[in-house]
């Protein structure tokens, strides 16, 4: 065979196999998404409610077999008279807890339900594929496929209470409260808001919602904690941290703890601090009443102070529990109560 | 008639001229009449007496009194109550009324989907029951104002400073 013909045949074979490979991988992804959707859709429900203005409609999902479900605060936080569409029927539901700081709410209906497994958002990376299942407008359950686009702490110049997952995934109205699933079908986040043109969205990491749920199991309410320290950017990085304590507020747990302004913050609980922004996540997972070990650098000396957290000022208002008669939700058998990291 | 000819009949009639009622007959006539009337009445069964009296009442009812203002107002109020009861038991809001507390309350909608005047609280149940099928609710929603489909463009909570 002449070399020209051989080269042509080889290049033809290579091109064919490339196209075939692309089609095969696209089919595999499609098959994978379909599998996740079919497995998880049964536990995703449409939520109806009535707020002070009108009827509202959003999405939620079951997290245990006794009918406990997570949704966004915008759906389950300030409305009432909830009903859910489940298995082709409509069931009444009531609010168990709503927490504006995390942007989530917990509802409950008294019926046996399927439940979605809880995953770990910490395992996600930028470009990790994810699936969301929601109820857009008055349409049936709809899968959305996208990827993690970033881990944001601020949006339009304002800081979130904890890191939010930015997801390149098209959303529609009615999908607030939808579960964000990894490709194993585990919940890693809850859709809370959309970005420009609904082409992307923000999701609260599932750990934030689980923190609120564990607070409720322990205390009957969400208990955000704090110790009373202001942090800002230090002039230079020391021991890998640029978080300098600038103010120890009077009358707070930190005031008598021995921590001083000018100390460089290295660690809060199990969370290491490198930038002042890292305080947001560390702060969010502090529970009032728990003792928090705080490691600082003073000069060249590394010191650890154990400070008992108090209720966060943002939480010092009547708890947003709709029904005082429902003071507890059952723990999942395979889960443990979260403690302050 | 063959046994009595005209003469015999005339003789009998002449004898009748001398017949007289017993003493006090006319004085006691009215009393005796009422007594016999009561006796006759008591021989009737109770249901018959009630039926007769009801018929009598209806036939003697003054129709004009029904058209008086108080009667007209009462009729309007009854109609308004019935209509408003139906409006407030429309499916969309019936769900809402059923969900005031943890244990679900059933609505006044019975199994056949007909409206009843029974109090919802009288039929308390302690397990969530489907309130309506989705087909029914779809019909209702089509007629009603569409709900607000929730997905805000900004998160609901922000932190003001780096503090913990």
| 8 Å CB contact of B159 and A77 | no
Average pLDDT, chain B: 69
Residue B96 touches chain A, beta carbons under 8 Å: yes
Nearest to A56 among B147, B154, B160 (CB): B147
Same structural domain, B106 and B50: no
> Which region holds residue A20: left if phi is over 0, alpha if psi is between -120 and 50, else beta?
alpha
Residue whose C-alpha is closest to residue A94's, from A68, A132, A131, A66: A68
Residue B128 touches chain A, beta carbons under 8 Å: yes
Distances (CA, A) of A242 to A97, A108, A249, A260, A276: 37, 44, 20, 16, 7
Nearest to B145 among A54, A173, A231 (CB): A54
> Do A225-315 and A121-219 have the same topology in CATH?
no
| 8 Å CB contact of B151 and A191 | yes
Q: B90, exposed or middle or buried, with CB in 10 Å at 0-12, 13-18, 19+?
A: middle
State pLDDT tens for residues A227-267: 889 898 888 888 889 999 988 888 888 888 888 898 999 99
Kindly state the percentage of chain A with pLDDT values over 70: 85
Q: Which CATH number fits domain A121-219: 1.10.569.10, 3.30.2350.10, 2.40.10.10, 3.40.1440.10?
A: 2.40.10.10
pLDDT for the residue B92: 45
Higher local confidence (pLDDT), A142 or A328: A142
Average pLDDT, chain A: 85
Number of domains in chain B: 2
Same structural domain, B87 and B54: no
State pLDDT tens for residues A92-103: 999 999 998 899
Domain ranges of chain A: 42-108, 121-219, 225-315
Residue B91 touches chain A, beta carbons under 8 Å: no
| 8 Å CB contact of A91 and B132 | no
Higher local confidence (pLDDT), A245 or A23: A245
Residue A275 touches chain B, beta carbons under 8 Å: no
Whether domain A225-315 has CATH 2.30.42.10: the reply is yes
Same structural domain, B75 and B41: no
Q: Please state which architecture CATH assigns to domain A42-108.
A: Beta Barrel (2.40)
Q: Nearest residue on chain A to B93, judged by CA atoms?
A: A81
pLDDT for the residue B5: 84
- Closest approach of A193 to chain B, Cα-based (Å): 5
Say yes or no: ipTM exceeds 0.85. no
Average pLDDT over residues A145-171: 91
| 8 Å CB contact of A88 and B133 | yes
pLDDT for the residue A47: 95
């Amino acid at each position: 065979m002449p070399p020209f013909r051989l080269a042509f045949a080889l290049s033809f074979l290579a091109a064919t196999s490339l196209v075939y490979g692309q089609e095969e991988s696209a089919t595999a992804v499609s098959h994978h998404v379909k599998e996740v959707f079919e497995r998880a859709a049964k536990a995703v429900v449409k939520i109806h409610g009535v707020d002070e203005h009108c009827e509202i409609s959003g999405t939620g999902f079951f997290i245990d077999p006794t009918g406990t479900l997570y949704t966004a605060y915008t759906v389950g936080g300030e409305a009432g008279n909830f009903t859910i569409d489940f298995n082709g029927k409509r069931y009444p539901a009531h609010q168990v807890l709503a927490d504006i700081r995390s942007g989530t709410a917990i509802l409950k209906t008294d019926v046996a339900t399927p439940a979605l497994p809880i995953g770990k958002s910490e395992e996600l990376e930028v470009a990790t594929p994810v699936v969301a299942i929601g109820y857009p407008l008055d349409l049936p359950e709809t899968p959305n496929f996208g990827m993690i686009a970033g881990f944001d702490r601020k949006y339009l110049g304002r800081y979130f209470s904890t890191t939010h997952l930015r997801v390149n995934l098209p959303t529609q109205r009615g999908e607030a409260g939808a579960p964000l699933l990894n490709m194993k079908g585990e919940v890693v986040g809850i859709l809370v808001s959309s970005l420009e043109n609904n082409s992307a969205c923000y999701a609260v990491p599932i750990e934030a919602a689980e923190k609120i749920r564990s607070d409720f199991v322990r205390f009957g309410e969400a208990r955000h904690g704090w110790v009373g320290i202001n942090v800002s950017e230090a002039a230079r990085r020391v021991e890998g941290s640029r978080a300098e304590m600038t103010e120890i507020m009077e009358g707070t747990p930190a005031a008598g703890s021995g921590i001083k302004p000018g100390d460089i913050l290295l660690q809060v609980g199990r969370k290491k601090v490198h930038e002042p922004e890292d305080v947001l996540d560390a702060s969010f997972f502090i529970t009032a009443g728990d003792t928090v070990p705080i490691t600082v650098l003073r000069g060249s000396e590394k010191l650890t102070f154990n400070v008992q957290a108090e209720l966060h000022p943002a939480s010092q208002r009547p708890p947003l529990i709709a029904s005082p008669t429902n003071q507890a939700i059952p723990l999942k058998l395979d889960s443990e109560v979260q403690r302050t990291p | 008639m063959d046994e009595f000819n005209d003469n015999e009949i005339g003789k009998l009639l002449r004898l009748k001229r001398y017949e007289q009622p017993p003493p006090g007959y006319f004085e006691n006539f009215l009393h005796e009449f009422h007594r016999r009337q009561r006796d006759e009445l008591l021989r009737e069964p109770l249901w018959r007496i009630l039926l007769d009296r009801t018929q009598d009442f209806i036939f003697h009812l003054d129709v004009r009194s029904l058209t008086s203002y108080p009667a007209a107002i009462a009729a309007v109020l009854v109609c308004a109550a019935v209509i408003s009861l139906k409006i407030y038991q429309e499916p969309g809001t019936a769900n809402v009324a059923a969900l005031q507390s943890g244990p679900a309350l059933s609505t006044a909608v019975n199994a056949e989907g007909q409206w009843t005047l029974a109090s919802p609280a009288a039929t308390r149940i302690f397990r969530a029951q489907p309130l309506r099928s989705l087909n029914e609710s779809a019909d209702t929603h089509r007629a009603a104002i569409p709900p607000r489909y929730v997905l805000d463009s900004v998160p609901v909570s922000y932190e003001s400073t780096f503090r913990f």
